[in-house]
Amino acid sequence: MTLRLFDTATRELRDFTPREAGKVGMYICGLTTQGAPHIGHIRFAVAFDVLRRWLETGHGYDVTLVRNVTDIDDKVLRKAAEAGEPWFALTYRNERLTSQALDALGVVPATYEPRATGHVPDMVTLMETLVEKGHAYAAPDGSGDVYFDVRSWPDYGSLTGQSLDDMANADDADPRGKRDPRDFALWKGRKADEPESASWPTPFGPGRPGWHLECSAMARRWLGDEFDIHGGGIDLRFPHHENEQAQSRAAGLGFARYWLHNAWVTVKGQKMGKSLGNALEVRHLLEETRPLVLRYYLTAAHYRSMIEYHAGSLDEAAGAVERIEGFLERASRRGAIEPVAAADLPAAFVASMDDDLGVSGALAVVHDTVRAGNSALDEDDDEAALSAAAAVVAMTEVLGVNPLAAHWGSGSSREDAAAELALEALVRAQLDARQVARQERDFERADEIRDTLTAVGIEITDTPSGAQWSLARQARSDADQAADPTDTTHTTSAARGAEKAQG
Ligand SMILES: [Zn+2]
């Protein structure tokens, strides 16, 4: 089985062959940490998480995934100045929010997440090489800027298929010092109004990195002069990726062998932007949507297709997740579900995934298997049902949407279900003892029991039909908070008895 990926550099599907057998080096452009991430910002991480999982599970590759953090740039400095806070406080806070969002959505952590500010020496080395080879120059105006000389590199434009004459000017620095207005900044000399903490010494003068240079330097440091896959959002193709490739190749490095780009999340056909407010920030969406549902939503579209977000967008994903969960729950009552090995994944699923990560086809196989499994359950064919469940677990795990994955902590795994039953029995025994104490008018004892339960985060509500208990909100995990709050409300046996008596 051969994995084929759409290489945006050659604009065609190519058989994927890693440069070193069994290993894949992958660099993904991460976020500029200027704000809290919304779902449009983090789609790339989910898209490339599916690729990473498929490379590992479907093909057995040992993947080194490097995803950078652009923790300094013009916008970061401007926003920090507006907010009156240190730029590094702002950027680190947003980096943490991004990590939390990706973790909540079950994105497997990168092998390494380098920050631009930690790699200035690597950038200086690359700039010196480019200057020596005649592909870069320090601005003659003494500004401390260093530019890439686009006309010195005939291959410039090849990644995006553009000729130099058709390109827009690089508006990243004052063009006065540039030989050509399309020359882009490798390094930006320090300006008088910029904080001293945002400047590093170099042979060209103090300053800070240009965005493009960061990625070339960090990819080289952690993946070597040449690596397999470079990924990022489609909007990064030009100028960012064109410039990354030009400066790395001009410096004599092989750089990326395959380029993959994911599409956007759009609202009314437009790329999701900050102007939409904070409602679509991942942390706010997760207050009302289960993380697994949001993950499914972002995973279900092909990575090169736009996802058009609208109110009610997540309902369809929620329905699909519930169908998978409902089947696995039914099946788990008939026996243990052991996920199948990669070699035993359904052939149609494998074929879809190998065809440029065809998740739509792969999910169709998942849902067909769920339907077949439900029919088997209806016919009491436990063996067929459990074998379908095993395949569903393995397939959804590849896509990062396995409801039984410990990550979701959804209460749907067998261990969680057992723990819930044990807790129910223990609390019920305490509530029965409290009821006896009250009947004996030993109110001190009754209050003591109540206080003990309250102290460990169990809230008791006395109702006409008996005492009910629930886990206090602050004692519950984030994942539980996203679920229906009535899930953890339990009626005591005494109350159930009362209901029965009434019925
Ligand atoms: Zn980049």
CATH number at residue 120: 3.40.50.620
Annotated ligand binding at 261? The verdict is no
463-468 average pLDDT score:
78
Which residues make beta-bridge pairs with 28?
67, 231
pLDDT digits (tens, 9 = 90+) for 77-87: 999 999 999 99
Say if residue 10's pLDDT is above 50. Answer: yes
Say if residue 291's pLDDT is above 60. Answer: yes
pLDDT digits (tens, 9 = 90+) for 112-142: 999 999 999 999 999 999 999 999 999 998 8
Domain shared by 29 and 148, yes or no: yes
Q: Is residue 272 part of a domain?
A: no
Residue 42 pLDDT grade (very low, low, confident, very high; cuts 50, 70, 90): very high
The mean-pLDDT minimum among 130-134, 390-394, 404-408 falls in 404-408
Choose one of 361, 377, 408: the last residue of a domain: 408
**Ligand 1: centre distance to CA 48 (Å):** 14
Instruction: Output the 3-class SS for 330-394.
Output: HHHCCCCCCCCCHHHCCHHHHHHHHECCCHHHHHHHHHHHHHHHHHHHHCCCHHHHHHHHHHHHH
Which residues make beta-bridge pairs with 195?
none
Buried b (16+ CB within 10 A) or exposed e, 389-421: bbbbbbbbebbbbbbbbebbebebbeeeeeeee
Q: Residue 118 is encoded by which pair of tokens?
A: 């930690």
Q: Is residue 135 part of a domain?
A: yes
Share of the chain above pLDDT 90, in %: 78
Choose one of 229, 262, 295: the last residue of a domain: 262
In what helix (H) or strand (E) does residue 433 lie, and over which residues does it extend?
helix 414-439
pLDDT digits (tens, 9 = 90+) for 60-75: 999 999 999 999 999 9
**Ligand 1: centre distance to CA 93 (Å):** 21
Domain shared by 398 and 427, yes or no: no
CB-based burial label for 268 (10 Å; 0-12, 13-18, 19+) = exposed
Annotated ligand binding at 196? The verdict is no
The mean-pLDDT minimum among 105-109, 238-242, 320-324, 465-469 falls in 465-469
Whole-number average pLDDT of the chain:
90
Residue 418 pLDDT grade (very low, low, confident, very high; cuts 50, 70, 90): low
Which residues make beta-bridge pairs with 70?
32
Say if residue 497's pLDDT is above 50. Answer: no
Count of domains observed in the chain: 3
**Ligand 1: centre distance to CA 76 (Å):** 16
Distance CA 59, CA 229 (A): 15
Distance CA 240, CA 68 (A): 14
227-239 average pLDDT score:
97
Q: Write down the pLDDT at residue 493.
A: 36
**Ligand 1: centre distance to CA 38 (Å):** 19
Q: Write down the pLDDT at residue 82.
A: 95
Q: Are 116 and 72 in contact (CB under 8 A)?
A: yes
Domain shared by 386 and 366, yes or no: yes
Query: What are the residues whose beta carbons fall under 8 Å from the beta carbon of 149, sequence distance 6 or more?
Result: 134, 135, 136, 137, 179, 180, 183
Domain shared by 240 and 119, yes or no: yes
Annotated ligand binding at 241? The verdict is no
**Ligand 1: centre distance to CA 21 (Å):** 26
219-232 average pLDDT score:
98
Residue 272 pLDDT grade (very low, low, confident, very high; cuts 50, 70, 90): confident
Q: Between 174 and 375, where is the model more confident? A: 375
Domain shared by 87 and 153, yes or no: yes
**Ligand 1: centre distance to CA 497 (Å):** 64
pLDDT digits (tens, 9 = 90+) for 372-386: 999 999 999 999 999
Domain shared by 206 and 142, yes or no: yes
Q: Residue 107 is encoded by which pair of tokens?
A: 């994105």
Say if residue 315's pLDDT is above 60. Answer: yes
What is the number of residues in the chain? 503
Q: Write down the pLDDT at residue 18.
A: 98
Q: Are 450 and 435 in contact (CB under 8 A)?
A: no
Annotated ligand binding at 29? The verdict is yes
pLDDT digits (tens, 9 = 90+) for 444-460: 999 999 999 999 988 88
User: Within 30-86, where are the H helices?
Assistant: 39-53, 74-83
Q: Write down the pLDDT at residue 477.
A: 45
79-97 average pLDDT score:
96
* Domain that includes residue 311, residue range: 282-408
34-57 average pLDDT score:
96
Say if residue 227's pLDDT is above 90. Answer: yes
**Ligand 1: centre distance to CA 44 (Å):** 12
Domain shared by 385 and 462, yes or no: no
Q: Which residue has the tokens 């690597």?
A: 122
Distance CA 39, CA 240 (A): 21
In what helix (H) or strand (E) does residue 121 lie, and over which residues does it extend?
helix 120-132
Residue 171 pLDDT grade (very low, low, confident, very high; cuts 50, 70, 90): confident
Q: Quote the Cα angle for 108-473-93, to 5°.
A: 45
Say if residue 359's pLDDT is above 80. Answer: yes
**Ligand 1: centre distance to CA 189 (Å):** 20
Annotated ligand binding at 215? The verdict is yes
Sign of CA dihedral 389, 108, 8, 162: positive
Q: Three-state DSSP class for 417?
A: helix
Q: Write down the pLDDT at residue 178.
A: 94
The type of residue at 53 is: R
In CATH, what number is assigned to the domain containing residue 383?
1.20.120.640
**Ligand 1: centre distance to CA 213 (Å):** 8
Q: Write down the pLDDT at residue 487.
A: 38
Q: Measured between alpha carbons, how far apart are the two ends of the chain, in Å? A: 61
Domain shared by 385 and 437, yes or no: no
Choose one of 216, 234, 262: the last residue of a domain: 262
**Ligand 1: centre distance to CA 212 (Å):** 6
Domain shared by 93 and 16, yes or no: yes
**Ligand 1: centre distance to CA 459 (Å):** 50
Q: Between 495 and 201, where is the model more confident? A: 201
Distance CA 339, CA 387 (A): 9
Domain shared by 497 and 452, yes or no: yes
**Ligand 1: centre distance to CA 358 (Å):** 25
Q: Is residue 446 part of a domain?
A: yes
Q: Is residue 91 part of a domain?
A: yes
Q: Is residue 42 part of a domain?
A: yes
**Ligand 1: centre distance to CA 31 (Å):** 9
Domain shared by 185 and 287, yes or no: no
Say if residue 485's pLDDT is above 80. Answer: no
Q: Is residue 267 part of a domain?
A: no
Provide the phi-psi class of 201: left if phi over 0, else alpha when psi is between -120 and 50, else beta: beta
Q: Is residue 271 part of a domain?
A: no
Say if residue 276's pLDDT is above 80. Answer: no
Q: Is residue 276 part of a domain?
A: no
Backbone phi and psi for residue 186, each to the nearest 5 degrees, phi listed first: -85, -35
Domain shared by 423 and 404, yes or no: no
